Each structure stands twice: as C-alpha cells, then as structure tokens.
Structure 1
Amino acid sequence: MTLHAEGRSDGGVTQTQKPARRSRKADQRAETMEQIFDAAEELFSKHGLHGVTLKDVAKQVGVHHTLLNYYFTDKKALFDAVFSRRAGVTSERRMKALDDYESAVGDAPTVEGALRAFLDTDLDTYIEGGEGWKNYAKLGAQVANTPEWGADLMDEHFDPVVLRLIALLKKAMPECPEDRIFWGYHFVTGALMLTLARTGRIDKLSGGLCHSDDFAAVKEVMATFMAAGFRSICS
C-alpha cells in the first residue's frame, strides 16, 4: 500500500493512505482465478481434458470465454495450472509426514509406518479438504492413468516424495531386492489412484457394504494390507 506524506503546521509530516487501487484489482483477479480453477477442476474431474472446453469453464464461472483465452493459451494450459495448484500442497504434506516419521523412529522404520505416513496423510487431505479436494483426487487418478502426458505431470510434481518413500522402505527392508520395492510401490499407487477415482464399482460389488467415497474406511486398512504385500514379496 502506498503512503503519501502530508505537511503539518509544525514542520513535521503525517502519513495518509492513498487508495490501494492496484491491490483491490489484484485481489479481484486472484478471486476470479480461484473461481476459474475451481470450476475447471470440477469439470475436468467429471469429463476429462478432452470433454471440457474453455467456453464450458467460462460459462460455469459466469465470465466471457475471452477472459480465459487471455490467461491461458489453450485448455491444456488451464488443466496443468489446475493440477499444479494442489499438487504442491499434497506433496509437501506427505514429505513432511515422512520426514517427521523418520525423525521419530530413527534407524528403525517399519514398512507399515512408512506407508501410513505416505498414504494416511494423503487420504486425510481429501477427507478434511471438502469437495474441491475430492474433485482434485479424481483429477489425479485421471492424470496417473494417461500415458500420453499424465506421466510427465506426475513426474514433475510427485517424484521427490515418492522417492522419499522408497528410501524409507529400503531402510525398513534392507534385504529386499530393490526391484521388489519398486513393484510394491507400483501396486500401492495403483490402489490409491483407483480409490481416489471414486468409480462406485465397489459399492455395487459389495451390495452397499463398502462405499468408494469412504476414504476413512480405506485409511483404516490400506497401509496394513499393502505392508503385508511388501513383506510377502520381499521374504
């Protein structure tokens, strides 16, 4: 905010605030961008990259589509921006959880402990984050299963935290062949992505006994189940 000096009769100065026009404009722009990201996230999570146009997003927000054309070269650029917005948050949370876990256990990590730091932290984000985060979860599942360009996005945003988990698993199972640890992670992330997709298939298969959006139930059993798998293939 800019301050303007105003003369006083005693020769000193007082400071009065000039109207913060730029700040208000910046706030309005930031609010509009958040609305665009939220709308695009919801639409992309339901219909995928190729099922959504910039006009669809503009219509949902209530702005003219030329505004989106001004900020984004095409819908893939918007998609990437939407994906990046939350990717850093979940990656940082899991990295901190893994660091905190290793600090707590020192040289004695367990497979399940490492997996809980990685998986439970991520699931908690979606449990506590509301519908926006659940839309992002579905978006992440789409990206993870799109070889043409999804792998590049996953590499860019998540390789450091995945390799941090791998390092802890190696420490927990020093005798396990390295390829088995990577295969184990492959199966873990596959199960996580299917869970985040919330397809509803398990609801039908179980006759309503299980619900695909019940992330709390998934959190209760996933790390334990996956830890047993790791121990089995590494024995």
Structure 2
Amino acid sequence: MKSLIIETIICQMYKVTMNKTQKPTNQRLLDAAEVLFAKDGFSAVTVRQIAKKAEADISLVYYHFKSKRELFEAVLMRRAKYLNDLRLDELEKIERRHEEDVPSLEEIIYAFVYPLLKKLSEDHDEWTHYFSLIAMVNNSPSWGGQMMTKYFDPLVHRFLKAIRRVFPDCEEADLYWSYHFLSGALTLTFAETGRIDNLSDGICQSSDMKSIIERLPKFIAGGFSSLCKK
C-alpha cells in the first residue's frame, strides 16, 4: 500500500496519466529496458530513453530500480528463474523415467536446450529480445563471467552432474570445455544474426526454430561424446 501511494504521488507531481489498461509501471520499464538493452547494449542506452519507451517519468526508474545497473540485472533475473525452472522440470522428468538406469546423453541435452528454443519458437516476439540480450551478455568480457555465473551456474552444475552419470570416466576439463562449446552454440542461435541465411544462400534461416530443435541437441551430444567417451 505504501509503495502504491508513493508512486501515485510521484505520478501526480509530474502529471503522468496512468492508463488502467497498461501494465504496472515496473513491468513497462522492464519491457522497455529489455528491448533497448538487447538492441544497443548497456552502455549506449540511457535511463531517459528507457523511461520514454515505457511512457513513464524518469523518476520512476530510480524509484523502482535505484540505478540503471539494477534495472539491467532485474531484466536478466525476471526470465532467468522461469527458464531455469522449465529446464530443471524437463531434467527431473527424464530422471524419473530412468530410475533404474541412466538417461541418454541426448535426452539430457534436449532437456537443457529444448525449453529455451520452444519458448523462442512459440512466443518469438515476447522472448526474442531477452535471448538476444543473453547472447550479448554471454559474449561480453565485462558481463559474461559475472552475470551468467550469478543467474545460471547452479542449473548448469545440475546438468553436468547428470552428464557425469553418462560418462563417469570423463575428465573434468573435457566436461567443462564441452559445456563451454555448448554455451557458444546456444547463444549464437539466440542471436539470430542471419549469418547462416547468407552463408547458405537461403537454404537455412537463423529464425527456423523447428530445424534448430531437430539438430542442435544431436550436434551438442556428439561434441560431448567425442570429448568425454572413453
């Protein structure tokens, strides 16, 4: 109640008209920031641009998120937990089916990548900016190690534990390098750069999620097997 009163006062001070059909202000700010950060990166985007796109007063950015960096982290966190839960659910379903034996490597990899690609395929307009942002963060020396570690490492370790059951004799270095290469393939796919469209003269499209879902788990499983199978 207190937060609602404070926001109402701020809005009245700056004569901001709140449309009852709009999302809450903090959600509009997150949506706007996600689009702008994905397009132009963290440094190039200003708080004023975010507020303008969200149709909110700039003071409300600082009220809800304190700083541009905290807003950036909130954008990443908003969907990360949801996606991680989807992937963990898929892995646990597979493990329940294999209580008496070990799942196949391809099943485990499928559980890791399929929920992401499925979301991108079914709700492309809603998710494309977030996945582009993840691709950018994962390839940034300034952000990749810190941000990806914070939001995704616990889930990654859970999947690597499952893969160790498939390859109990795999060297730790080979396991982590295999994941490193998986991460690169996945985030390049997220970026949808159109590179493969040009390279293949239109035979393939970087937005063709059906073809990616059919091929990527097999490709990644082949890489893990090549390095880890003794």
Q: How does the TM-score come out when normalised to structure 1?
A: 0.84
Q: 2:88 maps to what in 1?
A: 95
Q: Are residues 1:205 and 2:193 paired?
A: no
How big is the alpha-carbon RMSD for the aligned residues of Structure 1 and Structure 2? 2.1
2:49 is matched with 56
| Structure-to-structure mapping, 1:29-178, within 5 angstroms | 31-106=24-99, 107-178=101-172
Q: 2:173 aligns with which of 179, 201, 205?
A: 179
| Cα distance per residue 1:77-100 (max 9 Å; x no partner) | 111111111011001111111111
Deviations 1:29-65 (A, max 9, x none): 9612111111111111111101211111111122222
Q: Distance in 2 between matches of 1:175 and 1:62?
A: 56
Q: How many angstroms does 1:66 deviate by? A: 2.0
Gap runs ≥5 in structure 1 = 2-20
The answer to whether the Cα contact below 8 Å between 2:26 and 2:64 also exists between their aligned partners in 1 is no
Question: Quick one: percent identity of the two aligned structures?
Answer: 38
Residue 183 of structure 2 is aligned to residue 189 of structure 1:
yes
Q: Which moved more, 1:110-119 or 1:224-233?
A: 224-233
- Whether the 8 Å CA contact 1:170–1:176 is kept in 2: the answer is yes
| 2:166 alignment partner AA | A
For normalisation by structure 2, the TM-score amounts to 0.86
In structure 2, stretches of 5+ residues that fail to align are 9-19
**Matched residue SS, 1:50:** coil
Determine which of 214, 226, 231 is the counterpart of 2:208: 214
List 4+ stretches of structure 1 deviating above 4 A. Answer: none
Distance in 2, Cα, partners of 1:175 & 1:132:
42
Structure 2: how far apart are the matches of 1:132 and 1:150?
23
Q: CA–CA distance in 1 between the matches of 2:36 and 2:213? A: 27
The 3-state SS of whatever aligns with 1:146 is: coil
Q: CA deviation at 1:219?
A: 0.9
Mapped contact 1:38–1:132 kept (Cα < 8 A): no
- Whether the 8 Å CA contact 1:98–1:164 is kept in 2: the answer is no
Matched to 1:144, the amino acid is N
Q: 2 CA distance for matches of 1:72 and 1:34?
A: 11
